[in-house]
Structures are given as C-alpha cells and as structure tokens.
Chains A and B, each alone.
Chain A
Amino acid sequence: MNIVELQKKLIAAAKTEVLDDRVPYAFEKRITALLASRVAPDNMALWVRGLWRAAVSCVAISMVCGAWAFFNPATTTTATTDDLSQNFQNTLLASVDQSDQAQ
C-alpha cells in the first residue's frame, strides 16, 4: 500500500469536509448572563473585610494577654509587672531596636 498516497487522500478528504458553524440557540445570551453573574471584586469591600478580621484578631490577642496578666500570680508584685510590660514592649519593638542597633 502506498502510504504517502493514502495520507494525501485522507488530507484531501478532510479538506472536502464542509465546516459546521452552527451556534447553539441563544448562545450569546448565555455568555452575557455568565459575564453578568461574575461579580466584579469590590476593592473597598475586600479592605473592610480584611480590616474587620484583623480587628477581631487584635481584640482576641489583647484579651488573652490581659487575662494572662490579670490571673498570673507572678504579676502581683510591682517588679514583675514592670518586667511583663517591659518584656511586652521589647518584644513589640524588637525589629525597630534591631534596625536602630544596625545603624
């Protein structure tokens, strides 16, 4: 069998195929509806949501810290209270202190 000839014949057969360009009924309406259903992201809403989450986390952390400071028996003396607040401040400002020291 002549393979090259068969290949040519089959490609010729594909060329004779009439292109079917039928479009399903109301396809354009479907696409428009699909586009409309995709809600555009509202940047303001995203920020508000993010900030609320951050606020809730901050409140939770401060409550835990407050409760720990209040109920921990070690905090009853003045010296250790100072230590706790000093430690807390040092921890918060650690990165700033390090950059100051580096300069």
Chain B
Amino acid sequence: MMERTEAELISAVLNGDAASFEPLVAKYSPRVFATARRYARRESEIEDIAQEVWLKAFDKLKSFRGEAPFEHWLMKMTVRTCYDFLRGHQRNRESSFSELSEPENDWLERFVAAPESASEHADAAKLLIERVMEKLSPQARLVITLLEIEDRSVKEIAQLTGWSAALVKVRAFRARAEMRKIVAKMAKEKYL
C-alpha cells in the first residue's frame, strides 16, 4: 500500500478516521518524548506528558491550518504542555544542596581548584545542572532550556510559548539572574 502523506492523514482524521492518527503518533513521538525528558525526570511523568500532548493534538487538530509544518504545530503544543507540567510540579524547588553526591562534590572541588579541569562532559556536572534546573521557577526553567541549552532564538521561543519577543527577553534576563542566584546558593552551602 502506498504511504499516505501527512496532509492526507490529517484530513482523514478530521473526517472521522481516528486510526489515521496512529502513523502521526508513531512518527513524531520520539521528538515529543525527547522534549518531555528535558522537563520531567520520572518515566511515568514523561509518558503522561506525551499522552496529554497527543490527546490535545487530536482534539485541536481542526485548528491546524497547514500553513506551517505539522511538526512545528505539535512542538508548540509539547512545549506548552511541558510548561503546564512544570507549573503543576514544583516539589523540588525548596530542597537544599546539602545532600550532593560524592562525584558532584568532587566535580565542584575540581572546579574550585582549576575551572578548566572540571569537564562539562562529566556525569557529575550533568547531575548538578539537573539539580539547579529543578530549583528554577517554571518560567525560568523553560527559558533557560530553550534559550541557553537548545540555543533557540528569541523569535522561535516567542512562537513556541506564545509570549511576545519582548516578554521572552525580559524573562530570559530574570531567568539568568535566578539561575545565578541558585548556583551561588549551591556554592555557599558547600563552602560556608
């Protein structure tokens, strides 16, 4: 059987053939899961996010006009769902840095002794940034992830989040300041 195009699949879903949604889910789920893993740690939470994204996508498919690729439309929905998830799960923000693991402590000590000797490829560094990210506010975490980690432009972030470009810039400024404060707190807890 000839493979149907995305437009054909979407049109079939809109005409009531829900089974035509399955190839779209199969094609784009890796991207949805990869994005969700940036914001949630537990696999059950990641699956919940992905499931919510696809249910929303199905319900709102009528609003997809086909002017931009389906993937862009879906990624907007994914980012917004992740943001909603962050707003609803702020449980780790108040915890302290006192319970750093040994590799994390070692990495920090190496950084203090000679910053260039502490490799950013080390697992300990990845654990540390995860801890820092968990303490950021949802807005700050979203902005830092999109702007600093994924290297997206302000315009792209504005499109993904639905915020204005000016608002993205303001929130980026605040997010960097918030992150600096958290990193400083981590350093203070360790060395004072």
Tell whether A34 is near chain B: CB-to-CB under 8 Å: yes
Q: Name the residue of chain B whose CB is nearest to the CB of A1.
A: B187
Query: In this assembly, does B34 line the interface, its C-beta being within 8 Å of a C-beta of chain A?
Result: yes
Q: Does residue A14 face the partner (Cβ distance < 8 Å to B)? A: yes
B94 in the interface (beta carbon within 8 A): no
State which residues 24-54 of A face B: CB under 8 Å.
24, 27-32, 34-36
Q: Does B19 contact A (CB under 8 A)?
A: yes
Which of A4-12, A70-78, A82-90 binds B? A4-12
CB proximity to A under 8 Å, residues B149-192: 149, 151, 179-180, 183-184, 187, 191
How many residues from A make CB contacts under 8 Å with B? 31
Q: Tell whether A3 pairs with B25 under 8 Å between CB atoms, given A13-B129, A20-B37, A35-B18.
A: no
Q: Is B137 an interface residue (CB 8 A)?
A: no
Among A1, A12, A20, A36, the most chain B Cβ lie within 10 Å of the Cβ of A1
Do residues B18 and A9 form an inter-chain contact, with CB atoms below 8 A? no
The answer to whether residues A1 and B112 also contact, given A23-B33, A35-B58 and a CB cut-off of 8 A, is: yes
A32 and B149 in contact (CB under 8 A), knowing A14-B133, A16-B121, A20-B34? no
CB–CB A3/B180 < 8 A: yes
User: How far, in whole Å, are A24 and B47 apart by their CA atoms in the complex?
Assistant: 8
Q: Tell me, rounded to whole Å, the shortest Cβ–Cβ distance linking A24 to chain B.
A: 6
How many Å from the CB of A7 to the closest CB on chain B?
A: 5
CA–CA, A15 to B149, complex, Å? Answer: 5
CA distance A17 to B51 in the complex (A): 24
B14 to chain A, nearest CB (A): 13
Report the separation of the CA atoms of residues A84 and B118 in the bound assembly, to the nearest whole angstrom: 95
The verdict on B97 contacting chain A, using a C-beta distance below 8 Å, is: no
Structural contact, B21 and A1, CB atoms closer than 8 A: no
Q: A16-B120, A31-B51 are in contact. Are A7 and B179 (CB under 8 A)?
A: yes
Q: Is B62 an interface residue (CB 8 A)?
A: no
B contact residues around A103 at 8 Å (CB): none
> Which A-chain residue is minimally distant from B179 (CB atoms)?
A7
Q: Do residues A12 and B120 form an inter-chain contact, with CB atoms below 8 A?
A: yes
Centre residue among B29, B51, B129 by max chain A CB count within 10 A:
B129
Residues on B lying within 8 angstroms of A by beta carbon are 18-19, 21-23, 25-26, 29-31, 33-34, 37-38, 43, 47, 50-51, 54-55, 58, 111-112, 115, 118, 120-122, 125-126, 128-129, 132-133, 144, 148-149, 151, 179-180, 183-184, 187, 191
Chain A to chain B: the 7 pairs with minimum beta-carbon distance, closest first: A13-B125, A21-B30, A21-B34, A28-B25, A12-B120, A13-B120, A10-B129
A residues lining the B interface (CB < 8 Å): 1-7, 9-17, 19-24, 27-32, 34-36
